[in-house]
Structure 1
């Protein structure tokens, strides 16, 4: 289904910049929502991954679990055999696509052939007299939505103690490329308070993965829902 983005066209243009101009951004922004009833201590953070029937023999699942395990280890979680674990960690993940329409300016020259007035001449966008009035054309692009959900339950009782989801967008249809950013964003500052909604901005390292954030970077709360201007 195609979405028409009017008031947020500039924001999508920035996202699509990754696809159109390689290297124009060095950050990935993820939307995170967490529900928490966490009371565990560092000493009790033993866990094992649990799988649905569809995930039991999944190579994809086996690929994502170490990524999440690496992020859990930063918060004193230790992976152990399931019979010894206090917590069970379940994963859900999806990738979907949509078409996004972004209005882009087009400059028209009064001179139609190369010469002193063409493009960079006085009437060009960079000329000393400024550009002719711009027209706009609608450009449509395919954008992918990636999501990761992490659910932590007590093995003995089945009680849910932490449930967090992370979502981001990009131009590549493979979820694997986004998973390191989703996992790090979802577990950043663990445990979040119940009902937390925020944006996490992660820098991209030279290999294309999430780099350690600078000292002056931090996650910020998401804007109120009333501030969104999305029409479907």
Structure 2
């Protein structure tokens, strides 16, 4: 009698893992379209007063060769919302920018596995589509300069297979400012379309995420 954990059964399990891993990886390669998830800590915030701001930089951002490009993208999008950068002079708002890119893994589960071997794999047992996944995140925080009170915070995050944060930043900037400010609920999905000429993508839809 063939044991239930025979080589044939193991081979089927491996094939199942391969298929599931490939499907999971496909969602990061563009099959699902370009999109970003947006979260606001205080939706429907009222930004009162003059729409002027100045950017507060961290020491690491002053030393970064990429940061000026991030700020240029933000200035262009904020200008479309009626905001003016006072370049360090007196402004109503102080804008804090935080962003990071870090590798993530695509976990793969399997059914009908041997006892003690059913734990979720931290990542597929091989490289998929010749690259690992990366999560990019951007957070913008607006403070009233006079009181120091935070009045609005919005974060945008996306995943792809490009480790360069500059590649993801146009979509994140566009997503974070797709509505300004975002209404309740706090979580949204922004779908975008890339332009043939490159640059900042266009927003296709902005929809709240269902709980």
Q: 1:71, CA displacement in angstroms?
A: 1.1
- Select the structure of larger CA radius of gyration: 1
Moved more, 59-68 or 89-98: 59-68
Q: 1:102, CA displacement in angstroms?
A: 6.4
Number of equivalences? 177
Instruction: Report the Cα distance in structure 2 between the residues aligned to 1:51 and 1:89, rounded to whole angstroms.
Output: 9
Instruction: Report the Cα distance in structure 2 between the residues aligned to 1:46 and 1:172, rounded to whole angstroms.
Output: 34
TM-score between both structures, scaled by the size of structure 1: 0.66
Long gaps (5+) in structure 2: 1-16, 110-123
Relative to 1, partners in 2 of residues 1:99 and 1:82: Cα closer, same or farther, differing over 3 Å? same
After TM superposition, the structure 1 = structure 2 runs for residues 185-224 of structure 1, keeping only pairs within 5 Å, are 185-193=175-183, 196-213=186-203, 217-224=204-211
Match of 2:26 among 11, 14, 26: 14
Instruction: Report the Cα distance in structure 1 between the residues aligned to 2:170 and 2:183, rounded to whole angstroms.
Output: 23
Larger strand proportion, structure 1 or 2? 1
Q: 1:194, CA displacement in angstroms?
A: 5.5
Q: Does the 8 Å CA contact 2:40/2:155 hold for their aligned counterparts? A: yes
After TM superposition, the structure 1 = structure 2 runs for residues 15-94 of structure 1, keeping only pairs within 5 Å, are 15-18=27-30, 27-36=33-42, 38-41=45-48, 44-94=50-100
Secondary structure of 2:205's aligned partner: coil
Secondary structure of 1:150's aligned partner: strand
TM-score between both structures, scaled by the size of structure 2: 0.73
Relative to 1, partners in 2 of residues 1:81 and 1:17: Cα closer, same or farther, differing over 3 Å? closer
Give RMSD over aligned pairs. Answer: 2.9
Relative to 1, partners in 2 of residues 1:195 and 1:83: Cα closer, same or farther, differing over 3 Å? farther
